[in-house]
Amino acid sequence: MKKVDFDDLGFSFEVEFDTTVTVRDKTYPKINMKEVRAEAFLHLMEPLILTGDQIRFIRKYMNLTQEALGLCLGVTITSSNVNCWENKNENPAGIPSHLQDQLIVLMDSYVKAEADV
């Protein structure tokens, strides 16, 4: 099993692969994007300080608008707060730690609901 840094999610994520594909004499890792997105989502549930790109990925993965994510987190000025977190070009994104904790709980609920389907 080999590893490669994958940047196509909006943030860098290490992906494991065991097969490759050759296109025009260049060899690339063979990656299943659906599996990579699911693995990245689960990885972001681990304790870390989220960046704006990671918050955007999480929201889109759960098919939520900025306003819907804000409502799920109990934020009063919903979409402008989420927009601010997502577009902050620094680490951390500025999301308060208690809201990040709530986001992890929301992600966990999403994973459990997906497993029940």
- Kindly state whether residues 9 and 55 are assigned to the same domain: no
pLDDT tens for the 117 residues of the chain, in order = 788 888 888 888 888 888 888 999 988 888 888 888 888 898 888 877 888 889 999 999 999 999 999 999 988 776 788 888 888 766 666 788 888 889 999 999 998 888 876
- Kindly state whether residues 82 and 116 are assigned to the same domain: yes
Looking at the structure of the chain, the number of domains it has is: 2
- Kindly state whether residues 2 and 30 are assigned to the same domain: yes
- Kindly state whether residues 16 and 63 are assigned to the same domain: no
**Range of the structural domain that residue 55 is part of:** 49-117
Query: What's the predicted TM-score (pTM) here?
Result: 0.80
- Kindly state whether residues 71 and 89 are assigned to the same domain: yes
Residues paired with residue 21 on neighbouring β-strands, in sequence order = 28
The predicted pLDDT at position 7 comes to 80
- Kindly state whether residues 72 and 115 are assigned to the same domain: yes
- Kindly state whether residues 27 and 1 are assigned to the same domain: yes
- Kindly state whether residues 74 and 100 are assigned to the same domain: yes
